[in-house]
Amino acid sequence: MLIDTHAHLYLEQFDDDINIVIQNAKDNDINKIFLPNIDNSTILKMSKLVKKDPDFFKPLMGLHPGSIDKNFKSGLKIVREELETGKYFGVGEVGIDLYWDKTFKKEQISAFDTQVKWAKEFDLPVIIHARDAMDLTIEIIEKNQDITLKGIFHCFTGNIDQAFRIMKTGFYMGIGGILTYKNSDLKDVVKEIPIEYLVLETDSPYLPPVPFRGKRNESAYIKYIAQKLAEIKNISLQEVEDITTKNALKIFLK
């Protein structure tokens, strides 16, 4: 059994063949897929997908840093209402992204800190997007950690020092298709991280693993990430499946 801890299968890239994508995932032993929200424009589409198979799809609620602007408080208000009234399994995808634009850095920090506090309030894991902001996001988690906070640094591509800081907070790291890329340094870092702190993810439709680079990603491809992790750790594929699934269930469903 495998779990995709991070996929956006409600996006338009899957409009024409979502039922095939779902069946492909199930045929490849995927038992659950966690769906992080992006912003107010994706809530309805995500909700419709969850209704197709609520045992298979588990929704998360948050405001992505890429959607933060000067009006971010209105977006946060809707996230808050959803958390109060809906059934969600985590606060995400939230965080800080300074790769494209630093214009709203202050607002991103404020929105992230607010949503981390909500994760504690609602006793939910927080799913973190950190791009060109790894140290900053770790600092905010360290500041807010009071033993109760848990979650995942999604699409982890940090260095070993950052990995150990994350482990010290009790958080996990989501490992995706980048692990399979020939020129990625992630392999060397992951080799040093205990598998007890790792979960698998696809981030579909983005970041497809080898041999699908340049194509649309989908949850069924998580097996290629699992195979690469087994190779790096020099353990069996079954061990990777068992441990990463146990980790995911511990984060989201306990």
- Render pLDDT for 194-251 as a digit per residue (tens, 0 to 9): 999 999 999 999 999 999 999 999 999 999 999 999 999 999 999 999 999 999 999 9
DSSP-assigned letter for residue 250: H
Residue 134 to residue 137: CA distance in whole angstroms: 5
Which domains does the chain show, CATH number per domain? 2-252 (3.20.20.140)
pLDDT of residue 254: 73
pTM: 0.97
Residue 115 to residue 64: CA distance in whole angstroms: 10
**Cis (ω within 30 of 0) for the bond into 239?**
no
CA–CA distance from 2 to each of 18, 56, 147, 180, 202 (Å)?
19, 12, 28, 18, 12
Place of tokens 């939230």: 94
pLDDT tens digit sequence for 25-77: 999 999 999 999 999 999 999 999 999 999 999 999 999 999 999 999 999 99
Please give the mean pLDDT across all residues of the chain.
Answer: 97
